């Protein structure tokens, strides 16, 4: 059967995360429901590059599914978007080889984390940024701390203790900060990320920016391999899965 790759975007504020849960509304559940309608009631399983938590957004999530239908690539977005809630949009669709897998073929990902630095947050951004609560961070200190995280490391200290993943070695390829009006963006790319890793990195670098943590402490936090040594997990609504990279 043809295998279809989709690039999707979603507003995660109204979902219990991407992955189907025993209770609650999920992005995967909405996608599979829409596909079931198109397939005349047949169940269609969707595979994603990875899950996102409740409240986390995506502007470039990648999923795939197999289908017996001969719908042209150019028609899939329209067919699905007319059956999906407005909070989930199909951006593109293409037929890919059977060897492609949204998760296992991925070579890297880019996430964006956004803080809102204004004392007054627009109601239109309240679910899409994390408030600074009156803090104006020293971005140079955040950049200094970030430099210690770039490279290949054991990120046990920057991973939720709830994970059952044993190998916690990952490569962070880059971390940069951008100022967009009243917003501070952290853009981080790597070959893969552990559960809550980006949000813990964001929370830890925010502490550096506030002066609560010395950037020079980061190497020691890494070597400790102890989640309690790193900063708090930053709030979900500031996080976006921006891009999934395939190929070299």
Catalytic residues: 53
Q: How far apart are CA 113 and CA 186, in angstroms?
A: 5
Q: How far apart are CA 127 and CA 131, in angstroms?
A: 10
Map tokens 């956004």 to a residue.
Answer: 114
Q: How far apart are CA 194 and CA 85, in angstroms?
A: 29
Q: How far apart are CA 133 and CA 5, in angstroms?
A: 40
Q: Does an H or E element contain 38, and which? A: helix 27-38
142 contacts 206 by C-beta, under 8 angstroms: yes
115 contacts 209 by C-beta, under 8 angstroms: no
**DSSP code, position 177:** E
**β-pairing verdict for 57-66 and 239-246:** parallel
CA distances 165 to 62, 88, 221, Å, are 22, 29, 19
Which two three-digit tokens encode residue 125? Answer: 């951004």
């Amino acid at each position: 059967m043809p295998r279809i790759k989709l690039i999707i975007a979603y507003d995660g504020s109204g979902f219990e995360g991407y992955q189907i849960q025993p209770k609650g509304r999920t992005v995967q559940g909405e996608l599979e429901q829409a596909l079931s309608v198109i397939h005349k009631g047949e169940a269609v399983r969707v595979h994603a590059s990875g899950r996102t938590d409740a409240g986390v957004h995506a502007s470039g999530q990648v999923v795939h599914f197999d289908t017996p239908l001969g719908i042209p690539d150019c028609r899939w977005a329209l067919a699905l978007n007319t059956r999906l809630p407005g909070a989930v949009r199909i951006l593109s669709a293409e037929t890919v080889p059977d060897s492609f897998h949204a998760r296992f073929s991925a070579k890297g990902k880019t996430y964006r984390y956004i803080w809102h630095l204004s004392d007054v947050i627009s109601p239109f951004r309240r679910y899409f940024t994390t408030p600074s609560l009156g803090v104006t961070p020293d971005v140079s200190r955040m950049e200094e701390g970030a430099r210690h995280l770039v490279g290949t490391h054991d990120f046990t200290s920057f991973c939720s203790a709830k994970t059952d993943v044993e190998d916690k070695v990952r490569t962070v390829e880059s971390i940069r900060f951008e100022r967009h009006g009243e917003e501070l963006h952290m853009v981080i790319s790597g070959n893969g990320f552990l559960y809550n890793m980006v949000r813990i990195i964001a929370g830890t670098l925010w502490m550096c920016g506030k002066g609560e943590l010395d950037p020079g402490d980061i190497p020691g936090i890494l070597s400790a391999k102890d989640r309690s040594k790193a900063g708090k997990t930053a709030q979900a609504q500031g996080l976006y899965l921006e891009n999934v990279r395939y190929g070299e």
